[in-house]
Structure 1
Amino acid sequence: MSPISSLSPSPEVTLYFCPLNTEAMSPDDTKLVRSWLPEDELAKVSRYVQADARDKALMVRGYLRGILSLTRSGDVTLSPGEWQFEYGEKGKPDLITAQALSSGLRFNISHSGDWLVVAVYQGQSGLSGGGRAFIELGVDIERNRDSTNIYPILNHYFTQSETDALLSLPESCQRQRFFDLWALKESYIKAKGLGLALSLKSFYFDFTRATKQKIEVKKLNGPAVECVLLDGIELYLVQEGEGDKCAADTWCLFLGRLCEEYRFAVSASYIGTFNLKACQLTLTEMLACLK
């Protein structure tokens, strides 16, 4: 079964987990992916001094363009080299307005260590900007790092509520909660497109009503695997100080574990309901699907 989304009557967010194994990228693959990129993107890739970092940057851009082309959306069928991007004030990438409106697609990406995740929203095409219920999308993947001293960071980037909840956990669980919160915060500020211009202490997450679910990660070749997923996490916006807060009810938040080492988070501003799907896709598999 192909993990690529087929057109659905219901809006969907699909998470594509892509290994950044540069050794699996052949010279022909490199040449093909480079042919998809305009001069400005090639220049950005070339700025990396180390060959492995350069190859990873090329893979990230290739995965994004290939996945967008493989995601069916109405009558829109663009080749990987035809997608055009624009960037927000803080650098958040998006499709140019004409392509976003005609395809109904929105996306966000994140990579850490050996993994890239591409989140693609697939909704109705041909709607005006005000007609799209889906407003903002952010995704983050984080690698658990045992060397990080988490405690000095708490006061700088976490609210008092988050810090108190974390420190109330058994010490063996505190590091995991730290990276859970960090992934959620990264996904939210990426959805907002403001980067660190948005204070990480201006909002916080509450796990009190979160429920543990499972999400099936499909593979093109091989059996699907199940990942743990937390749903029902609540987001609160802090206005002036910890005592002045309001719930952000229009946000859907998900936190999952791809494996023991990697976790991922999704923040989606949405009015209504949508399906969340996931698949794992290698560069070789993606290029084969594009032929």
Structure 2
Amino acid sequence: MVPSIIASLFFRPVMDCSSTRWLRWALNCQLWKPVATQWNHANKCIQEEERQRIEQFVFQAPAISSLIGRLMLRKGIQEVIGSSNSNITFSRTAEGRPFLPGLDIIDINVSHHGDWVVLALESGARVGVDVMSMDRPINKDLREYFRLMRKQFTDNEWRQIDKSDNKLHAFYRFWCLKESYVKAIGVGLKYDLQTIDFNTSDELSRQRVIKSTKMKLKDQSSDELLFEETLLDMNHCVATCIAFSEQGLKEGVCDKPFTEVTIEHLLNLETITDEVDEGLWTRFNSKQYSAR
């Protein structure tokens, strides 16, 4: 059973697997070291409020990831509906989730963490995606870190984490699943995560998309939800939550592996403004790459 908060957000029945109206994209942002012409062009392709958000980052790395995410949103919509970039104007929900007013048959979501930026797009269903670096937390004792995070997980989930050969990777996997769900329903991490309980049965792999993971919400099965999981590399997991409008629509859904796209592909967008602040590149280039 799916809660009313999801039912109120459903769109139309999911399209056939042969349709191109779904996307799974990934880009390793470590591979892009922008130069001035690229940075300025990319910023000319996005809305003013998006540029302002990106400028607020203290370090280069999150600014790069965020800009790639904005470009992915626009390029993804352009490829699926054939619209010019100048006709794409994103709004945000009260929780900060990007959406396209008037195009409620398409749902799109991005995530960035560690080395990767990912995008998931669905037609006729809500979608949330989350990518997670599985690195050990910096300057934190792992036992203390687990103790502090314990309240975000159910007893059942912690039992699965404890049984795992790699507890840290298992921890991140469950966290990634939870984030994909709250992003799909658009409520943010203020949601009580202990009401969400996951059961995993298959190991993650780079070679396949895992669709066997099940979720219960307040001890009730959520049959309209499908979770797709995979590894982008041996240190980054990604989870996609698809919320269908009706029970049974998820049966027979095809595998949707992530395709690695290039920055050149994303930069192949028309600009929506002729000019940007002349100091945009200078300010970005003066920042330290990351906190590490």
Same topology, TM > 0.5: yes
Q: Alpha-carbon deviation of 1:43?
A: 1.6
Distance in 2 (alpha carbons) for counterparts of 1:164 and 1:50: 38
User: Which segments of structure 1 move beyond 6 Å, counting only runs of 4 or more?
Assistant: none
Distance in 2 (alpha carbons) for counterparts of 1:254 and 1:95: 24
SS at match of 1:54: helix
The 5-angstrom pairing of residues 144-183 of structure 1 reads 144-147=134-137, 149=142, 150-167=145-162, 169-170=163-164, 172-183=165-176
Alignment-derived partner of residue 138 in structure 1: 128
Contact in 2 for aligned 1:25/1:283 (Cα 8 Å): no
Alignment-derived partner of residue 242 in structure 1: none
SS at match of 2:135: coil
Distance in 2 (alpha carbons) for counterparts of 1:32 and 1:51: 17
Instruction: For structure 1, list consecutive stretches of 5 or more residues without a partner in the other structure.
Output: 1-6, 124-131, 215-225, 239-244
Distance in 1 (alpha carbons) for counterparts of 2:209 and 2:174: 14
SS at match of 1:252: strand
Q: Alpha-carbon deviation of 1:159?
A: 0.6
CA distance 1:52–1:263, shift in 2 (3 Å): closer
Residues 173-200 of structure 1, C-alpha deviations (whole Å, 9 max, x = no match): 2222111101101111111111122111
Distance in 1 (alpha carbons) for counterparts of 2:263 and 2:86: 16
Contact in 1 for aligned 2:127/2:184 (Cα 8 Å): yes
Q: Percent identity?
A: 19
Contact in 1 for aligned 2:75/2:269 (Cα 8 Å): no
Distance in 2 (alpha carbons) for counterparts of 1:177 and 1:26: 38
TM-score, length-normalised on structure 1? 0.75
Distance in 1 (alpha carbons) for counterparts of 2:212 and 2:128: 17
TM-score, length-normalised on structure 2? 0.75
Distance in 1 (alpha carbons) for counterparts of 2:178 and 2:149: 13
Instruction: For structure 2, list consecutive stretches of 5 or more residues without a partner in the other structure.
Output: 1-15, 272-292
CA distance 1:160–1:278, shift in 2 (3 Å): same
Distance in 1 (alpha carbons) for counterparts of 2:77 and 2:21: 14
Structure with the larger RCO, 1 or 2 (CA within 8 Å, 6+ apart): 2
How many residue pairs end up in the alignment?
A: 245
RMSD of the alignment, in Å?
2.6
Which structure shows the bigger proportion of residues in strand conformation? 1
Alignment-derived partner of residue 224 in structure 2: 250
Q: Alpha-carbon deviation of 1:151?
A: 2.6
Contact in 1 for aligned 2:25/2:119 (Cα 8 Å): yes
Q: Which amino acid aligns with 1:280?
A: E
Alignment-derived partner of residue 127 in structure 1: none
